[in-house]
A = this chain, B = another copy of it.
Amino acid sequence: MGAHTSTVLIETDVVAGCIEEMAQFGAHPVAGMQRVVYTPPWVEACNRYSTWLEAEGVEVRRDAVGNVFGVLPGREAAPSILTGSHIDTALQGGRYDGTLGMIAGYLALRTLKRHFGKPRNTLECVAICDEEASRFHSNFWGARAIAGLIQQGEAESIFDSDGVSLADAMRASGLDPGRIPAARRDDIGTFVELHIEQGPILEREGIAVGVVSAITAIEQKQCLVRGRADHAGGCPMDARKDAVVAAADMIIAITSLAREMGAPGVATVGRINARPGSPNIVAAEVDFTIDVRHPEPAVHEKYSGLMARACQEIAAARGMEFHENLLLYQPATKSTPEVLDVIKGAASDLGITFREMTSGAGHDTQVLARAGIRRAMIFVPSRDGRSHSPDEFTALDDIVKGISTLTETLYRLAY
């Protein structure tokens, strides 16, 4: 059997049908998708995924947290080759983020099983229960269960906005939080995740597939600038300690350093608030967030430090205070070079345009990497870079190329 046959096997209308079917579960009443872990639309989507697999004669396994696996047992007792992505969506998100990788995994498995039968290594696809943390601050819940990284008692200590604990939400979906440790897997050798790019690079360059060499480091900090409240009429410009003006200078400095850091590095101030927040009072305090990302740890550390120092200096020069508080730190994750090479070889041999790139967003892949699993990702273009939005869209042609690359990759890894 030729290694290139899989291209012709991914049928456009089947792909379109799967996307359409999944979009039924959790359609947001206004626009987009809202399929949140341990809710009825999420249960229905997991059931539909199982039904698809069962219809292909693929064995379905649900783990303790609700991750759904489709398993094609291999001929040899070798580590599993796993593919898939998450089945949950962002709040009022789109049809593609996560979902497309889950569908791609199912279609790759189905195609390979139909045409090549039993693999050498066990080949599995997965619908990961929760990546977006749209309901709970659950921080890659599904992938952490697989990686054995959930702390004891964690499910009891995280609550949704209605005060329901994650543990109770699991029970309401028929899952037993006491069994979480059983979800841990130590028999997965490789994970390949297909995902939308969530950025404009592939579209801008007219390339069908991104081969992800690293997932960025992400650092988020909460910053506080403390000046002094003054009467907006009574206080002359030169007597002010205006926290808004200082924050504006900081934002300009952060943006300028982000440009100096260069692509794929980025820095974002996404939230800003002034206190007391009255038009006629010079702001005493401003809160803002900084999100700094770069896939190279040394570059990331250097520029994160330069940004903090710039803010400190701006505050000090005005006799003001600057404080920062770490909200989140996710280290960078390099892809496994051998897996990367297999993907590149597959795309190349299939005549599919690709480029190596880094991921500016976090993914389940980085969590499985922490369990020592070999990994790499395949990106497909996001129209206009849209993501976490009802506007998410990837052209069917690009999707087919992405799934073909995935299928060929899995073939080379598992057969």
Contacts and interface: CB of A to CB of B under 8 A. Distances in A.
Interface of A: 197-201, 204, 216, 218, 220, 229-239, 242, 244-245, 247-249, 251-252, 255, 258-259, 263-274, 276-283, 286, 289-291, 293, 327-328, 359-362, 382, 385, 387-389
A391 B184 CA distance: 59
A275 to B, nearest CB: 9
Chain B CB within 10 A, most for which of A233, A267, A281, A327: A233
Contacts of A278: 270-271
Given A244-B269, A252-B248, A231 B361 contact: yes
A232 B268 contact: yes
Contacts of A293: 232-233
Contacts of A230: 385
Chain B CB within 10 A, most for which of A200, A277, A389: A200
Quickly give the copy total for this chain: 2
Contact of A242 (B265, B268, B279): B268
Contact of A200 (B236, B251, B270): B236
Given A234-B199, A252-B252, A389-B229, A268 B282 contact: yes
Contacts of A362: 233
Nearest to A204: B239
A388 B97 CA distance: 50
A255 to B, nearest CB: 5
Contact of A231 (B198, B239, B272, B274): B198
Nearest to A97: B231
Nearest to A273: B273
Contacts of A220: 279-280
